[in-house]
Structure 1
Amino acid sequence: MIGRFIGDKRGNYALLTVITMVPLMGAVALAVDFTELVREKQETLNALDAAGVATAQQIVSGASDADARAYAKQFFEANLRHVSPANTTLTVTLPNNNAGGGTLVLEASLKYHPYFLPAAAMLLGGTAGDHVVNVSARSEIRLKNTLEVALVLDNSGSMSTLGSGTGQKRIDLLKAAAKQLVDTLALQAQQMKQISKPVQFSLVPFSASVNVGPTHDGDSWMDQDGISPVQHENFDWTTMSAANDPNKYAEKVNGAWYKRGDGWGDTKGEPLTRFSLYADMTVESGREEVPNSKQYICDAYNKKGKCTDGHWTDPQYVYTTSRYASWQGCVEARPYPYNDDDTTPTTSNPATLFVPMFAPDEPGTLWRDFNRDGTNDVNSLSYGYENNWWADWPYSLNPTAVQRQSDMRKYFLVKPYGSTSAGAGDGPNAACTTSPITPLKDVTVSAQKQQLTDAINAMAPTGNMNVPEGLAWGWRTVSSNEPFTVSG
């Protein structure tokens, strides 16, 4: 009998079914809970997105912070169709409370109470209780993207011609269009609430070069130590050797040139740069007669020893000197590959530094009589070069045109009083014809908008055209890197 009982297989299916139903029903229960959890989470996110869009419209319309938060909560809960608002918590971060500004952030936390999870936990040997599942959702609404516009405008000489069929100069048409764009976007910017600097403009006038402004001569992104590979182009400092003048010579150390000898005065030991050239070039700007310096010379006497004919000698003068020129703000293009990008300038990479423009004196003029002991102080020699604004070094025998241009000794001779002036537009600032860059200005601020408008009105067409430099500096005005770091 016992053997028959053990071998009897009737009813095994029912037993196995009962055993397997426990995990099967548990799986079904968990599936139901998970499906409901996903549905409630999605409904919460949908309500969050809808509340974000609706609240953003309220903010743009001028709602206060308190009203915006209350409206967001009301709209959010109204769209929770199958989710109890008691199980949710809403957090509203308004645009003016964000570090970046301009973004409305809505965050909701959802407490989901599962239907079957507690029973399933008990069947699996767990404890009964409220097994709450916490879910979070987040929605971001960008009210208005801040706008930064670089106006890179052609100021070359061709802009003085008439625009086709208009009867107006191209530069005047360009000014009108630029100001119209500024005015239009400024009106739009006034409607953007709770956003710092919603619309900003910079202005980059360009012709043959770009003017960053002479007030930047002491900035760290300018080459202050003569280490850039561009710094000494067209300059031959070897002409200023100790053999030529032991009291005032140049010495090269690690690629840079330095002032050596007592003849430099207080600047002894300082680097030789284009900035130092502007400071060192001097011209006799005036003269003052020395009292009682005239002397009468008798050329003929009569028999009684009285002077019958004579003349006065030239009077002696004290000459005053002044700086010949100051840097006006234009810079050279950086060497490749930094010429058309916004790489941050740093002394660890000298090629990234900006170098002041210094148009070298081209061959042409000699001041033969530096001591003013003759009647003809200036002797002009024409070599057909346009930018001839200084005297060539006069003491070299038959120098070539290249030697005349690059011999640095000439810049440390004082230009004599009364010598011929340089031609219009000539000098170390030749081709620097535009007004300085106007960095980003917030056009919602009337004073800043006026600065931008005044800069547009001040543009004048002159010089050649260098489009790549204009575009590169336009990029740099809206970049967060040096030289211009003002951004929205």
Structure 2
Amino acid sequence: MRCKSIFDEFSRSRSGNVAMMFGLLVIPLLIGAGVGLDMARAAETRARLAEAADAGILAAARARLLDDTMTDTEAAALARRQFEANAHLRPDTVIDTFDFDYDEVAGKFTLAVTGTVQTTLLAVTGRKTMLLSINSEAKVAPPRVLEAVLVLDNTNSMSGAKIDALKDSATDLVDTIMADTDNTVKVGIVPFSTYVNVGMSRRNESWINVPADYSQTNYSCHNEYPDAVKSNCRTVSGTCNNDGVSYSCSWEECDWDYGEPVQVCGNSTSNYVWHGCVGSRNYPLNVKDQDFGATRVPGLLNVWCAAEVLPMTDNKTAVKNKISSLYVQGDTYIPTGLSWGLRLISSDAPFTEGTTYTDLEADAGVKAIILMTDGANTRSPNYPDHWGSNVSLANNLTSELCDEIKSKKIFIHTIAFEVTDSTIQNLLRNCASDPSDFYDAGNAAELAEAFNSIGDDLKRLALTK
């Protein structure tokens, strides 16, 4: 009877059931969690490799079309280099096959990539890797949506024949890409120098903060020399510098006998007025296209800048009129041009004329920024102004902006116009989406050739899926 009683008590006991059930369930729970983690990691890896494949096929396809001497083997090698540069492969990812092909009859480039990514917890089930398969196509055809922003150096060193050559070349580009077409083509213009001019009509927009204009009157005295006499005047030759560009020049020097000074006193009034020029938000917002509601763009009083930007438009006449109205002003600060080029081409405020990046991909569209400059950065930010002279800082910000733009799948074409400085040449070459998208134009004819090549490139290649 005692044995039966003990057995009955044991059979009725529930004290260990929860632990027993948890022990039985913990393994499938861990496996399930592992499957979720491994699947998510594989999906993230595949998305990253798909973007890298798109970058690779477009770089190779464009280079192959522009260079008749390039072989398919060389194009495939270029595609592989661009793919690896953008894929950021981790040790757990292995690429097994990389097949690049060009069907000249069909006018189509294809890229097929396969590989594996190692699993973690899923490996306990015996599945140590997950397969990856990526396919990308680029077709030789005008993109259904093309949006381009021309970021153009309008500094003092571009005066004379150089600004005229720029106007002619940029106009030819517009005629090429905005020719009568069934596709959507929009073009924007960002003239830049030390600052960018966003337009006085935008003074009260929510994304900008412009102080009120004001006048200030002060009483002061200064010396004048009414009896000053100059003598022994002569012409002196030497080297002058205009926004970092050296040139031969001459000037007059004289000996002066100023005589006795006469003190003049009185009121003088200074007017502080906004002319449409904007400075920079603090880093890193000066290299970003975001958070304009929280941190607005500073408008600067008593600062002069180049012509007002033209937001992207499909009105070819408006674009050509803007180009013809360009004029030179100020020194070179490339980051201000690039930052506003990015803001014009996006679909988010402050300028909203651009197609969203999601819709652009669905429409097999292309966004591109064309940057042209004739010299090195000579100004840098001392926030919010751009009167600094830290060239290294300005160059670093230029590189950051180039990377930011390319990360959004926006193509960058760069043109160095009569630039002999190897530092700025390398900066522009690295800024471009591919080295073949950098143009070293030594004269006006080569500048025109560069713009023509870019126009042909943009018109005939679309990414498809």
Higher CA-based Rg: 1
Per the shorter chain, which TM-score range? 0.3 to 0.5
